[in-house]
Amino acid sequence: MPSLLLRNARIYTAVDEGRASAGISQGKIAMWDHGALLCKDGRIVAIGAESEVLARRAEAGPGAAGHGSAPEEIDCKGRCVIPGFVDPHTHLCFVRPREKEFLARLDGAEYLDILKAGGGILASVESVRAASEEELFSATRERALSAVRMGTTTIEIKSGYGLSTEAELKQLRVIHRVGRETPLSVVPSFLGAHAVPAEMRGRAEDYVDLLTVEMIPEVARQGLARFCDVFCEEGVFSVGQSRRILEAARGVGMHLKIHADELHDTGGAGLAAELHAVSAEHLLAASDQGLRAMAATGVVAVLLPSTAYSMRKPFARGRAMIDMSLPVAIATDCNPGSSCTESMPFAFGLAVMQMRLSIAEALTAATLNAAYAVGLGRECGSLAPGKSADFLLLDGETPAILAFRAGMSPVAEVFKAGTRVWPERKRT
């Protein structure tokens, strides 16, 4: 694999201290004004002031940066370098967006009422069940590639539009295939507990039985999901039902996530702390008590600002959470209903402007803390020797450009494991 040397670079990266950064640490990032980054075989070999990196390379001898050959050099003048985005919460695997529902919500319809009436998530379930595996893959792949263009290099993707063993397995197979056939590293999560399917309406307990007795064991047997997630919400799954589901998942080796306290405070944040979930997501309505319990157990708060935007809801209290020493990550929540965007730059801008995160805190949220939220903190999320060489060149002097160029993407080039994956090189 070719080796690569970025020179003349303004480099900004979160600093990995072995866990998601919380409190004051979340706002402390490393930067080099005239830096260099040396990569070999898809990994970062050295990073720092350009003079130091070049001296280290010279000391190591001619073969140090490749198979005896000089590395390809990129002059980063006028651009800044940051780690590739890790999007730690998406529902990317669907057929089509529910635009009419968005219009209805703008006219005052409530998200949970639409679901209760058989629309919302259940409308997406119908189309996912009806789609062939190939159709579902092709729609998901398109969205995955648009995420890459926006700077995402690692992504979590949930199932949850199948709600039957067969259809959930189909989604999970598609999600794995996206990991094989796009530049993205994909983290698959099982979200069979996204809603009670139409055919079991009014029989939530029976569906929880199906999840715990049949679906979760089968997903685990086929090794198709790293995480299990639950939509813990009034009228969807109660705290008690969520606990049963998540304990069953933990019993077969899955790690845990929870859609917690999105629209009502049902105690989801507290449940995440009790079960030592890796992360709890949304948290718009979470109580201080729930958040403090999360902080005490190190649960990552994954905030989804583009969902609050698209639902016209007050944003989660990101500033207060950081001040409470909760590690905060941000994600797109890309889905066909409540947040129809693959753009991490958009989530970044909203986190800074609406949740009042500093640029440094938002950078940590979109990279390092996001990587810890999907269990990949040691592999990616910051620029450090040994980590995957996943990074972006931004058209700007600092990462602030991500918030400043609102509605635009300043992502000029995307590198995954040391290879440029966007823009693609022209074939000759």
CA distances from 414 to 10, 153, 411 (A): 16, 8, 7
DSSP string, 13-64: EE---SS---GGGGG-EEEEEEEEEEEETTEEEEEEEHHHHHHHHHHH-GGG
Q: Interface with Fe ion by CB under 5 A: which range of 79-87, 135-143, 283-291, 325-333?
A: 325-333
State which residue, 47 or 131, has the beta carbon closest to ligand NIG. 131
C-beta of 194: minimal distance to ligand NIG in Å? 6
Contact between residue 189 and residue 207 where contact means Cβ atoms under 8 Å apart: no
Instruction: Give the nearest distance from C-beta 92 to Fe ion in angstroms.
Output: 11
Q: What residues between 242 and 281 interact with ligand NIG by CB under 6 A?
A: 259, 262
CB of 114 to ligand NIG, least distance (A): 9
| Phi, psi dihedrals of residue 377, rounded to the nearest 5° | -60, -30
Told to check if 307 binds ligand NIG by CB under 6 A, we report yes
Which span sits near ligand NIG by CB under 6 A: 15-23, 42-50, 119-127, 201-209? 119-127
Please give the residues from 62 up to 91 whose contact with ligand NIG meets the rule CB under 6 A.
Answer: 91
Reference 93, options 12, 26, 175; nearest CA is 175
Q: Do 242 and 230 meet the contact criterion of CB atoms below 8 Å apart?
A: yes
By beta carbon distance, the residue nearest Fe ion is 333
Of 168, 333, 342, 361, which one interacts with Fe ion (CB under 5 A)?
A: 333
Give the whole-angstrom CA distance, residue 99 versus residue 130. 19
- What gap in Å lies between CA 196 and CA 42, rounded to an integer? 43
* Minimum gap (Å) between residue 191 Cβ and Fe ion: 8
List 120, 267, 268, 399, residue binding ligand NIG (CB under 6 A)? 120
Of positions 140, 152, 153, 338, contacts ligand NIG by CB under 6 A: 338
Residue 101 within binding range of Fe ion, rule CB under 5 A: no
361 touches ligand NIG by CB under 6 A: no
Residues 6+ apart with CB under 8 A from 113: none
305 binds, among ligand NIG, Fe ion, none (CB under 5 to 8 A by kind): none
**What is the rounded CA–CA span in Å between residue 388 and residue 400?**
24
Residue 261 or 333 having the CB closest to Fe ion: 333
The minimum distance between CB 178 and ligand NIG, in angstroms, equals 18
> Could you tell me which of 251, 261, 270 has the C-alpha nearest to residue 211?
251
Please tell me the distance from the alpha carbon of residue 274 to that of residue 262, in angstroms, as a whole number.
18
For the chain, the residue count is 428
| Least gap, CB of 205 to Fe ion (angstroms) | 24
Instruction: Please give the residue ranges that form the binding site for ligand NIG (CB under 6 A).
Output: 91, 120-121, 124, 231, 259, 262, 307, 333, 335-339
